[in-house]
Amino acid sequence: MTEIVLASFMIFGVALGAESVLSAGMPAPDFTMKDQDGKAHTLSEYRGQQVVVYFYPKDDTPGCTKEACSIRDDYTLFESNGIKVFGVSYDDMNSHKKFAEKYDLPFTLLSDLDKSVAAVYDAKGLFVPSRKTFLIDEKGILRKIYKNVTVTGHGAEILADFKALEKD
């Protein structure tokens, strides 16, 4: 009986938007989404390298542009450290393509049109995803979750945290 009551509270909590059960040290949920060029990307295909998955609300809005440009400005360091970057929003491929071209974004933007990936990563919002970032190691394990992202300087922050994680 206790298990049924506990399960009911957990389901009710999830329905009300309680915190996700994702935490550092867990396997990153796998996904497949299409990028700005229509190419499908599956997270598990990137095992063996570090990955950043960052959810952002909307292409070409002030905060999202600052965040994307912060990562863009440090992108050569991401590349030289073998870190793959995925930006994820509900925007479609055409919107992503325009956004990437307008700001010369060298990394991959993925379309979560059905909001399913944002839901699994506890970044689902009614109209736009929450701004959250996930650092994933070479084995596909979540190493750090940013629930409160500062859009300026986020690229440098991610790089510093990956370096710190390598020392652990």
Catalytically annotated residues? 64
Q: Which residues are bridge partners to 53 per DSSP?
A: 86, 134
**End-to-end alpha-carbon separation of the chain, Å?**
42
Radius of gyration of the chain (CA): 16
Give how far Cα 100 sits from Cα of 3, 13, 84, Å: 49, 37, 16
The one-character DSSP state at 45 is G
